[in-house]
Amino acid sequence: MTEQVTEPAAEPEKRTSAGSGDEPAGELLELATKVASQARAGEQLEVYASRGVEVDVRAYEGEIESLSSATSAGVGVRLVTGGRQGFAYAGSLEEAVLAETLAEARDNATFATPDEHVGLAEPDGVAPASLDLWDESVLSVPTATKVALALELERRVRGVDHRVRQVAYCDYGDMAFESAVASSTGIAASARRTMCSLSVMAIAGEGAHSQTGTGFSAGRGLGSLDPARTAVDAVERATRLLGATKAKSARLVVVLDPRVTSTLLGIVSSALSGEAVTKGRSFFAGRMGEEVAVGALGLVDDPTDARAFGASRYDAEGLACRRNVLIEGGILRGFVFDTVAARRASTSSTGSAVRGGYASTPVAGCRALSLSPGDLDARRIVAEVGEGLYVQSVTGVHSGANPVSGDFSVGAEGLMVRGGDLAEPVREVTIASTLQKMLQSVLHIGGDVEWLPGLAAGQTVAIGNMALSGA
């Protein structure tokens, strides 16, 4: 199992982010609108309300280890007056609590430093995409079926290969989530979405040596879950690392597994935040229009693509989500903005406000990044590369990849690439470079786009001239 410690001590906890669907969450929108209508003269008032239902099942040794079911709801109130913003939240939608939360937000606003750029979103005429992100099966399928899926996955993982010695976790999880945002500036948006997933970690062993592999499957509804493929994926990833040793330090080409690419794009996305750029906290600051990557590299954030798990009709401020081109032909073409960051940069919101849940305020961020696909699949990329390291997974991304400096150094495990094929397994090494150099050293981008939970698609990518540190 992987655990991590990140410093600093975290912000108040983040919850599931806002999403969308075609059916409006009418009741929530009504509630948000009602509270937002209480703005006084000279005030701008925004109310975000959300509600979710979740089921989580963990299977172990053929039994249910735990089953949790939960509903939760909450509200976040943002109030701007005289260029000053205050915020308050509560994990409840009760009327008395709403009134108290509004009063807190109003009081909190008096302490901010006035800033002419601070203000709420106003409708910009962009129509939201038509997206169906709701699958009723998440609510209608009985819990027993969900339990059976988790048990089936665990049984399959233990049955695929005799070298599987344990299953560290084997989970089914789902959620049905509704949200609404309304403001005194004319915003009224609501959305809903569902998601369910299977995830498992297999521990394979030979002698005293153990290795782990994870598998997962996710979709809007239970019909898209595939326990058989998930089991095989986890087991194959664990067993192919058996016998792994520390490689010798070298400069080489790395081929990133699609999951690793998705993780790295998440880091790059922090540097593409208009807020980070405007505040001089991104290695992309001041480079608009310049060549920041190899010519073949295109990067787009498109939450209107229903295949993306981050797809959404509306952003966290209630503006329509839209397709934003960030890098095109290696040239830096755009950043993502929420309303305040956009005003600070003398531009318009790109409909890219995201929020960690009702307990936090909107910030600029990506939802659905993908690289423009190339022609090759993973096998062909490995063949083209010839010699290098295939990176199955990375660790220490939070401590080792810095979107300000671009410094990049992470733990890695995977398989050597020799003679155009995957060869012996490798563990306990790091790969390092800078994000700036890595973007300029991309050799191949796979055509194997795979949408993964998180804010970026996975694709196989080969990058040259990385420093491998090992024995």
Partner 1 sequence: MTDTISSGPFLLQASVVERVLGVALEHGADFAEVFAEDRRGTSATLDDGRIEELSSGRDRGAGVQVVVGDTTGYAHTAELSEAGLVAAAEAAAAVAHRGGGGRTVVLEPSDVRRQSEVAVLPESVEKARKIELLLRANEAARSSGSAISQVSAAYGDSRRRIFVANSDGLLVADDQVRSRFVVSCVAVGDTGMQSGFESAAFTVGFELFDVVDVEDIATTAARRALVKLSARPAPSGEVPLVLARGGGGILFHEACGHGLEADHIEKDASVYVGQVGEQVASPLVTLVDDGTMGPEWGSFAIDDEGHAARRNVLIENGVLTDYMWDLQRARRRERFSSGNGRRQNYRHLPMVRMTNTYLVNGESDPDEIVAQTRQGVYVAKLGGGQVNTATGDFVFGTAEAYLIEDGHITEPLRDANLIGNGPEVLRRIDAVGNDFAMGGPGTCGKDGQSVPVGTGQPTLRVTAVTIGGTAGD
Stretch that binds partner 1, among 27-35, 216-224, 400-408, 439-447 (CB under 8 A): 400-408
First to last CA, the chain: 25
Per CB under 8 A, the list member of 41, 42, 96, 111 interacting with partner 1 is: 111
Contact residue for partner 1 among 125, 142, 207, 280 (CB under 8 A): 280
| Size, binding site for partner 1 by CB under 8 A | 91
CB of 372 to partner 1, least distance (A): 27
Among 194, 433, 440, 460, binds partner 1 (CB under 8 A): 433
Name which of 13 and 375 has its Cβ closer to partner 1. 13
- Give CA separation, 322 vs 64, 191, 311, 313, in Å: 42, 15, 10, 8
Compute the Cα dihedral for 197, 309, 46, 107 and give only its sign: positive
User: Is position 246 an interface residue for partner 1 (rule: CB under 8 A)?
Assistant: yes
Q: Does 11 help bind partner 1 (rule: CB under 8 A)?
A: yes
| Nearest-10 crossing angle of helices 95-109, 26-36 | 50
CB of 410 to partner 1, least distance (A): 6
Backbone torsions φ then ψ of 19, nearest 5 degrees: -140, -160
Task: Kindly state the smallest distance separating residue 13's Cβ from partner 1, in Å.
Answer: 7
169 forms part of the interface with partner 1 (CB under 8 A) = yes
Under the binding rule (CB under 8 A), the answer on residue 239 touching partner 1 is no
Q: By C-beta, is 111 or 125 nearer to partner 1?
A: 111
d(CA 75, CA 68): 23
Using rule CB under 8 A, residue 92 touches partner 1? yes
What stretches of 63-142 show up as alpha helix (H) in DSSP? 95-109, 137-140
Which residues, numbered 66-85, are part of the site for partner 1 (CB under 8 A)?
66-74, 85
Determine, following the binding rule CB under 8 A, whether residue 359 of this chain makes contact with partner 1.
yes
Nearer to partner 1 (CB atom), residue 14 or residue 40: 14
Q: Checking phi first, is residue 247 left (phi over 0); if not, alpha (psi -120 to 50) or beta? A: beta
Q: Residue 311 CB: number of other CB atoms within 10 A?
A: 24
Residue span binding partner 1 (CB under 8 A) among the ranges 205-213, 255-263, 294-302, 446-454: 205-213
Taking the complex as a whole, the smallest distance from the CB of residue 165 to partner 1 amounts, in Å, to 7
Cα separation of 261 and 255, whole Å?
9
Closest C-alpha to 48, from 367, 366, 315: 315
